Amino acid sequence: MEISVFIRNDATLAVKFLVFDKEGIGRIRSIPGRRWHPEETVWSIPYTLLAAEQLLAAFAGCRIHIEDRLLEECYVLQDWLGS
């Protein structure tokens, strides 16, 4: 499973599945505050440290592509990438 994560706006991150995956949908639904945006074909999650940690935990073992700008802003993602 592969996902792409990028900044959607000041309050939310966007999570896009590169290929539709029912298991991935179940994983994203485990994150409080997530929302589906059919017009953009992305899920959004709150742009918070807690949500970023929950995203990494939910998608452990998956391939996660992180937008460079987001990686620069979020130390949780930097720490995850470094480990």
Report the distance separating Cα 51 and Cα 66, nearest Å.
Answer: 15
Per-residue pLDDT, 36: 98
Report the distance separating Cα 12 and Cα 6, nearest Å.
Answer: 9
Q: Is the pTM of this model over 0.85?
A: yes
Whole-angstrom CA distances from 22 to 16, 29, 35, 49 are 13, 11, 16, 26
Q: Quick: pLDDT tens for 1-48.
A: 999 999 999 999 999 998 988 999 999 999 999 999 999 999 999 999
Whole-angstrom CA distances from 73 to 23, 30, 47, 50 are 29, 24, 11, 15
- Based on its alpha-carbon atoms, the radius of gyration of the chain, rounded to whole angstroms, reads 12
pLDDT confidence tier of residue 83, bands split at 50, 70 and 90: low
